[in-house]
């Protein structure tokens, strides 16, 4: 499916998205509290006003391999998404089945999840309330995607990395319809590799790598209006395939100017997953 012609007829909102400003230095951020007198991040953001299209009318034609994201209906049996044990026991298993069904993968490994609740004026803290991320980024890179397999499944990593491997996030509202701080996703076909800037993400025990993203006028942005708790947005953050399929999908929370003043603050949950396809011998 080609969105270029249809996109012009979609409803849009105009909003500022925070892109990376190039400073000549490699961006570096701390996942936890930084050392004394060290800034949490050296990344400098610059806002660009962009058109963000409501992708609902074309949702059925989107694919992970072409566009890098897809919206699906999925009712979860989870009663409380703030209960980490229930999420791991129930939602992880549901997500594994969903990923295998949608991608044809032979194995899916859910390695992390984050719940977010927007609290105006509050800082984003890993040991407390997580806020929506309001800068354009990709969670993994050509380097850090495979490294996650080596870190998390070392006993099988060599064999798993012989086949195709993907990092796919599952993002859903905890309560809906979601009106506040929705998630914007960029059509991977509109992203040039030069737009993706490797950036260090420093944890207590390791240094990860993400992509910050620089602005390009041709980026095509989408969101899905009024998402509810029975909808999931799948977002591809890495794909080892280099045959022209979508590999990296920039995304960010944004302030929707049409959001009602009394809209409930955004609550959401995201899973980060490794998805495997067997090697072709």
Q: What is the chain's pLDDT, residue by residue, as a tens digit (281 residues)?
A: 455 566 667 899 999 999 999 999 999 999 888 999 999 999 999 999 999 999 999 999 999 999 999 999 999 999 999 999 999 999 999 999 999 999 999 999 999 999 999 887 666 666 666 889 999 999 999 999 999 999 999 999 999 999 999 999 999 999 999 999 999 999 999 999 999 999 999 999 899 999 999 999 999 999 999 999 999 999 999 999 999 999 999 999 999 999 999 999 999 999 999 999 987 64
The CA distance from 106 to 97, in Å, is 10
pTM of the predicted structure, to 2 decimals? 0.93
Give the pLDDT score at 10.
85
Give the pLDDT score at 125.
64
Give the pLDDT score at 281.
45
Q: Read off the tokens for 182.
A: 């929705």
Q: Is 48 exposed, middle or buried (0-12, 13-18, 19+ CB in 10 A)?
A: middle
DSSP annotation of 242 reads -
With beta carbons less than 8 A apart as the criterion, state whether 54 and 7 touch.
Answer: no
The CA distance from 167 to 109, in Å, is 10
Q: Read off the tokens for 224.
A: 């899905």
Give just the sign of the alpha carbon dihedral 174, 176, 178, 180: negative
Q: Within the chain, where are the H helices?
A: 4-7, 84-86, 92-103, 144-152, 157-160
The CA distance from 266 to 211, in Å, is 24
Give the bridge partners for 117, in sequence order: 267
Give the position of tokens 């899916």.
108
Give the pLDDT score at 32.
86
With beta carbons less than 8 A apart as the criterion, state whether 125 and 40 touch.
Answer: no
DSSP annotation of 187 reads -
């Amino acid at each position: 499916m080609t969105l270029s012609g249809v996109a012009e007829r979609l409803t849009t909102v105009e909003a500022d998205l925070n892109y990376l400003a190039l400073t000549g230095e490699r961006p570096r951020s701390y996942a936890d509290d930084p050392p004394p007198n060290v800034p949490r991040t050296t990344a400098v953001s610059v806002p660009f006003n962009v058109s963000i299209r409501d992708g609902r009318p074309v949702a059925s034609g989107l694919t992970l391999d072409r566009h890098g994201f897809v919206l699906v209906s999925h009712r979860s049996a989870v009663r409380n998404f703030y209960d980490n044990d229930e999420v791991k026991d129930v939602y992880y298993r549901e997500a594994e089945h969903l990923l295998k069904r949608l991608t044809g993968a032979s194995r899916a490994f859910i390695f992390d999840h984050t719940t977010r609740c927007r609290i105006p004026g509050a800082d984003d803290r890993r040991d407390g309330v997580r806020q929506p991320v309001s800068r354009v980024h990709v969670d993994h890179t050509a380097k850090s995607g495979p490294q996650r397999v080596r870190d998390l499944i070392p006993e099988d990593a060599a064999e798993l990395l012989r086949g195709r491997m993907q990092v796919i996030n599952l993002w859903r509202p905890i309560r809906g319809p979601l009106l506040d701080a929705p998630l914007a996703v960029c059509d991977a076909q509109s992203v040039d590799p030069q737009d993706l800037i490797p950036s260090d993400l420093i944890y207590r025990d390791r240094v990860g790598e993400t992509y910050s993203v620089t602005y390009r006028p041709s980026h095509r942005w989408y969101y899905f209006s009024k998402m509810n708790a029975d909808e999931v947005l799948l977002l591809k953050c890495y794909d080892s395939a280099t045959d022209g399929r979508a590999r990296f999908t920039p995304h960010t929370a944004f302030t929707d100017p049409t959001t009602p003043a009394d809209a409930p603050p955004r609550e959401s949950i995201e899973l980060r997953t490794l998805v495997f396809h067997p090697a072709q011998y």
